[in-house]
Structure 1
Amino acid sequence: MAAIANASYVTYELRGSVAHIGLNRPEKRNAISDAFVETIAEVVARAEGEAKAAVIYGHGNHFCAGLDLAEHVQKSAIEGVRGSRRWHEVFAKIEHGMIPYISALHGAVVGGGLELAASTHIRVADRSAFFALPEGQRGIFVGGGGSVRVARLTGTARMMDMMLTGRVLSAEEGERCNLAQYLVDTGSARDKAHELAEAAASNAEISNYAIIHALPRIQDMAKDDGLFVESFISSITATSPEAEERLRAFLEKRVARLKAPGSE
């Protein structure tokens, strides 16, 4: 296992080819401060250099309860802008990085915590998780990318409801609203996230890069533009030496064929 980075805010552990990034401010429900953001940036850079996939999870009883309001209330307007833009920059390193990120969610996934989770590629929630965007009740607005990422996951109408009314979604409701792609028993989200990260890490790296970078961009394109770009991405990935070996292994029956869920 790799040495732990700045454990006062974020822990770091390498399990095989999967990096585990742990939000480590449990006494504050992992509320995100400026120093917290900088440490996340540090460990994400480290994961990019030595892992093929990563899991982000929270120590203690919660994933992340969002922005550290005690720090935020002291900022001027321009300091708030700078802070928001830094969140955008760091979370973009996750969303648009070199490796897939899977978040393991439990307890509060609130405000900035939901914005962080939305920057990951797959979200696993256990049944203790709950989702909320209470910025309206605090007299503020989302600043960590939620108006883009969360709205794209749930739809603008759902996000508007959460922000205007303070609605809190259960884990089950969060899964139905696409805030999580997996729902697991309480206490098992990190294990499931690791299992998924291992599966992603076993893919060809060029395929993973294409999936996490091309798919979101294609969704923003006109239909014909998206299909045009898809053709190029498909051609580039298929001509890599690793793709050739993997395709030959399948054709020569050196790897198992897919089976229906539950089948022997």
Structure 2
Amino acid sequence: MAEDLVSLDIRDAVAWIGLNRPAKRNAISDALLAALDGAVARAQGSARAMVVFGHGPCFSAGLDLSEHKARTAEQVLHHSRGWHAVFRRIRTGHIPAIAAIHGACVGGGLELAAACHIRVADATARFALPEGSRGIFVGGGASVHVARLIGAARMADMMLTGRSLDADAAERAGLITYVTPEGGALEQAAELAVKVARMAPLTVLGVLHALPRIQDMAEEDGLFVESLMAALAQTGAEAQAGLADFLEKRSAKAVEG
């Protein structure tokens, strides 16, 4: 069944979404993509944060190329737009998404990770964009979203030369946010998910929706939107309660010492 290709477990306001095609290194087939879309929709209706991870030996080895042998240009175009739609639902949804990465995070797998808001990788993680060496081009959003994370020049190097990045190199490049020892990505992601699930909804709205748009605005436009978002967030009930807790010393300092 298609839903078996992606596991979903919701606990403590966190949705755990697992790519579950380990025998194929979690290669993203059409059926897996549809199951992922369904799991994301359920998570966004029931949780306040989500963690995306891979069952088995790796996060994801990317696109299932076996499904693309006989596709026409028109079919490939529509297929690519379908990937964009699914990943957009993750990126522009109303709950933060955290990718917990181990092993291969390649091609479409990297595009999925880039759709998440925070990326955690353990020491076994490897990142690559092998499309160039296969005579094809990225189609799941990498040319926009991976390039924004690491820059077009570094992405061009990865595509033209087949270069892969280990976890430390990926962190230096800005591709991932946290590096853990082998086997530690899920634990780190769980800690982060609990934190972000407690955030005020208006603050989350600003981070997920205002912040990305501000990056594309002229400076003064961006600063005005920032002020609008600050006005909304800081006058919300949860913000007022949080400020009162801080002023009355009922909450921890942001930085101790």
- Per the shorter chain, which TM-score range? over 0.9
What is aligned with 2:24? 28
Return the TM-score normalized by structure 1. 0.95
After the TM superposition, which residues 71-220 of structure 1 pair with which residues of structure 2 at under 5 Å, given as runs? 71-220=67-216
Secondary structure of the residue aligned to 1:8 is: helix
1:52 matches 2:48: yes
SS at match of 2:223: helix
The residue type equivalent to 2:76 in the other structure is G
Residue 257 of structure 1 and its aligned partner are, at CA, apart by 1.5
Number of equivalences: 257
Aligned pair partner of 2:36 in 20, 40, 43: 40
Aligned partners of 2:202 and 2:232 also within 8 Å: no
Query: Alpha-carbon deviation of 1:252?
Result: 1.3
Q: Distance in 2 between matches of 1:123 and 1:112?
A: 15
Where in structure 2 are there 5+ consecutive unaligned residues?
A: none
Instruction: Give the conservation status (yes or no) of the 8 Å contact 2:200–2:238.
Output: yes
Retained in 1: the 8 A contact 2:63–2:107?
Answer: yes
**Per-residue deviation at 1:141?**
0.4
Counterpart position of 1:231 = 227
Report the RMSD for the aligned CA atoms in angstroms: 1.1
Matched, 1:258 2:254: yes
Q: Secondary structure at the match of 2:39?
A: helix
Q: CA offset at residue 230 of structure 1?
A: 0.5
- How high is the TM-score relative to the length of structure 2? 0.98
For 2:134 and 2:108, locate their aligned partners in 1 and report how far apart those are by CA, in whole Å. 13
Amino acid at match of 1:199: K
Hey, what's the Cα distance between the residues in 1 that align with 2:236 and 2:253?
22
Which 4+ runs in 1 deviate beyond 4 A?
none
- What letter is aligned with 1:157? A
Give unpaired runs (5+ residues) of structure 1.
none
Give the superposition deviation at 1:70: 0.3
CA-CA distance at 1:6 after TM superposition? 5.1
- 1:10 to 2:29 alignment: no
The answer as to whether partners of 1:7 and 1:24 remain within 8 angstroms in 2 is: no
- Percent identical pairs in the alignment equals 55
Q: CA deviation at 1:15?
A: 2.0
Q: Letter of the 1:220 partner, please give it.
A: D
TM superposition shift of 1:212: 1.1
Contact 1:94–1:119 at 8 Å: present in 2 too? yes
